[in-house]
Amino acid sequence: MAVATLAGREVHIDDEGFMTEYDEWTEDVARTLAGNIGIELTDAHWKALKFMREDFKANGASPTIRRVTSEAGIPTKELFALFPKKPAKKMAYIAGVPKPAGCV
């Protein structure tokens, strides 16, 4: 566990760089996190990220790709285009929630 400064805010991150405190997240922090992995956030990204946060808050677990598709209505192919190669992990990283734990 370490404290890092992101977008002018002190936030807690784990060994890999994922945020550990849900409430330390802001949209500016998200933009910085996205920039760290080469993603510039568009409205389509925000729709997915907001769902990640809302769903985590409601269920206490990060949603899987399938869940983002079925519940937020974002096609799986689009998720792979927005967050290339590893959408579930990348969405979780930018949304400031843990990596999804479910297998499917």
Partner 1 sequence: MTLTHEAPLTVPDFGDDAAGERKIAFICSKGNLDMAYPALIMANGALGEGIETHIFFTFWGMDMINKKTVDHLKFTFLGNTAMHPVKAKFSMPQGLGGFPGMTSMATKMLKDKIAALDVPEIPEFMTLLHDMGAKFWACKMSVDLMDLEPEDMIDEVDGILNVTEFMELSENAQVIFV
Enzyme catalytic residues: 103
Query: How big is the site for partner 1, counted in residues (CB under 8 A)?
Result: 33
Indicate whether 44 belongs to the interface with partner 1 (CB under 8 A): no
**Residue from the set 17, 21, 27, 44 that interacts with partner 1 by CB under 8 A:** 17
Q: Report the residue count for the chain.
A: 104
- 86: which 2 tokens? 């590893």
User: Shortest Cβ distance from residue 18 to partner 1 (Å)?
Assistant: 6
User: Shortest Cβ distance from residue 57 to partner 1 (Å)?
Assistant: 18
State the SS3 of 31-49.
HHHHHHCCCCCCHHHHHHH
- 84: which 2 tokens? 């290339």
